[in-house]
Structure 1
Amino acid sequence: MSLLFNFLFPPPPSIIITSMSVISFVSLANAGFSEINGKNMQYSKFWNVTSRKPSVSKNKQIKKISSRTGMLIFYTPAFLAGVFAFALFPNDGLRFMLVDFALTIHFFKRVFEVLFIHKYSGGMVLDSVAPITLSYFVSTATMIYNQHLTQNLPEPAIDLKYVGVALFLLGTIGNFYHHTILAKLREKDDKGYKIPKGGLFNLVICPHYLFEILAFVGISFISQTVYPFAFTIGTSLYLMGRSYATKKWYHSKFPNFPKDVKALIPYVF
């Protein structure tokens, strides 16, 4: 345990942060296993898969909104939480500012991509918007508050924040680059799916997920607290499940899909 605290701040005496660490990890890991078992979140390409299931009542209409609107709703509250935190905690030091800046940039990038990069093929189920939006907002606000609670605590013996900055920037740039590749697969008004190529798509079907994980590893290294690491591990398990489901979907739609392309980690998974 003493070796661990060479890398981490002591856990703050907060039942909220302790509870959220457990809840974030368990809920995200469970979502990842659900993706592997075919219980997909109802957005993106998987909406059409899940919406065909007969479990939906005949008397219940499925309400949909455009993917652009839904994703904009997903990310905006978390982005605003990061912006407001600069004013709410203006004197919390460099590490806090780096964590808040990274979170704000992360969600600003997502909003920017929604508005100017992504191409859309359909809609998403309205019922899925509120829980996803709340999840992003609560996890971001918790990460910010968690970092605020480290004020006046002894710094870890090994400082990883600058390594974290480098990993965050690499993950963010790599994620944006591969999102751009995906967007360029479609011409104007083209709503079909194609096998992505270029970048790391020749090795894995979801390199954008891989770089997103790397960005959150970077935030965890900047923070050096328990909650971001719990969130990052949970997110990694979720995106592993999501990438597995994505690869399975591509195999079902494209008989010529390359057999040697992995889901998330080159040559491994």
Structure 2
Amino acid sequence: MVSVTISSTKPTSLAKGLPAILDFSGKSADVVTVADVKRAFTAKYPNFYPSRQKLSLKGESKSLPDEATLSSIGLSDGGELAVKDLGPQISWTTVFVIEYLGPLVVHPLMYHVPKLFYGQDVQHSSLQKYVYGMVMAHFLKREYESVFVHRYSHGTMPFAYVFRNSFHYHILGGVTLAYAVYSPTYSAASSYILDTIRDNPMFLKACAAVWLWAEVSNLKTHLILRDLRPAGTKKRAVPYGYGFNMITCPNYFFEIIGWFIVCAMTGSYAAWVFLIAGSYMMAIWAIKKHKNYKKEFGKDYPKRYKMIPFVF
């Protein structure tokens, strides 16, 4: 039998009367895991569900992995763990669905009801029609991937983060981008469009072809990553194949190409801001993923660029 004392890093209304002692009858520290402790703590304090808990060793701040046993983290009978309330949680799938829903609502509104936003009707140019179709297809694809393709190592995140994470898509990729590209500046009668390359059917079709290749390639890399992790597991493996033989994060590379095409087609400041902001964040994630792969797989991880071939 092993018992664990749970104290709190700060007072919480979800678990009054801490510290509490949890007993695991008939089990040793070699068998009881951090996940077992979380479940036992929830049984005692039902509103403090496991995904809301961060458990760490007393006096330390590092979160303990759910699969670790008590003995592996140096805890024996009577040892103490500290719990931190992470706040209300929301699934990663729901987070992404909310994020990508913003542009799917904003773009149709500004495209189909321009008088509401610009004070006048807009005769849409071929360029606007192409961009509208590409943006809608992109975010519908994102929604599909969020629900049916992606598998997450962490099941939830703090609900408060939804507002922060949604800013990029709802404001930059939604309101700002839509307001710029569906405006009269890009209309069929605009001097910015008439008799320019932006009104050239061959140019628009060529851009759309490259964009479509980038989108399909991005989906293919996501499917490769999905197949590396069986459903319900946190298994990690070195990805190989389409794009991965040269780049750690080819999905980011193809994402950048897709949005670069929109920038090249429109020349819009809003499109460039969205691309630059997104590329910056993806670069941070790519560096982190590259470092984690090298740390986890060591010499078994092949030499690759992080995000952009021959550059970064």
Please indicate, yes or no, whether the TM-score normalized by the shorter chain is above 0.5.
yes
Is 2:111 the counterpart of 1:83?
A: no
Partners of 2:238 and 2:301 within 8 A in 1: no
* Residue aligning to 2:164: 131
Which residue identity lines up with residue 137 of structure 2 in the other structure? Answer: I
**Structure 1 CA distance for aligned equivalents of residues 190 and 127 of structure 2:** 12
* Residue aligning to 1:168: 211
* Residue aligning to 1:154: 191
Residues 132/81 of structure 1: CA separation in 2 closer, same or farther (3 Å cut): same
**Structure 1 CA distance for aligned equivalents of residues 89 and 299 of structure 2:** 32
**Structure 1 CA distance for aligned equivalents of residues 300 and 110 of structure 2:** 45
Partners of 2:248 and 2:290 within 8 A in 1: yes
Point out the structure with the larger helix share: 1
* Residue aligning to 2:309: 266
Residues 257/267 of structure 1: CA separation in 2 closer, same or farther (3 Å cut): farther
Name which one, 1 or 2, has greater alpha-carbon Rg. Answer: 2
Higher relative contact order (CA 8 A, sep 6+): 1
Is 2:272 the counterpart of 1:237?
A: no
Q: Structure 1, residues 40-92: CA drift from partner, whole Å, max 9, x if none?
A: xxxxxxxxxx9989499976534322111111111112222233344224732
Give the one of 92, 97, 105 matched to 2:137: 105
Count of equivalent residues = 220
How far is 1:239 from its partner? 1.7
How far is 1:202 from its partner? 1.3
Partners of 2:110 and 2:182 within 8 A in 1: no
Q: CA RMSD in A?
A: 2.7
Give the one of 176, 184, 193 matched to 2:227: 184
**Structure 1 CA distance for aligned equivalents of residues 204 and 140 of structure 2:** 21
TM-score calculated relative to the size of structure 2: 0.63
* Residue aligning to 1:22: none
Query: What's the secondary structure of 1:200's corresponding residue?
Result: coil
* Residue aligning to 1:73: 98
Aligned residues: percent identity? 23
* Residue aligning to 1:141: 175
Is there any run of 5+ residues in structure 2 with no aligned partner, and where? 1-53, 64-81, 115-121
* Residue aligning to 1:209: 252
Is there any run of 5+ residues in structure 1 with no aligned partner, and where? 1-49
Q: How does 1:210-225 map to 2 (within 5 A)?
A: 210-225=253-268
Could you list the structure 1 runs, at least 4 aligned residues long, displaced by more than 4 angstroms after superposition: 50-53, 55-60
Which residue identity lines up with residue 232 of structure 2 in the other structure? Answer: D
Partners of 1:163 and 1:222 within 8 A in 2: no
Partners of 2:177 and 2:271 within 8 A in 1: yes
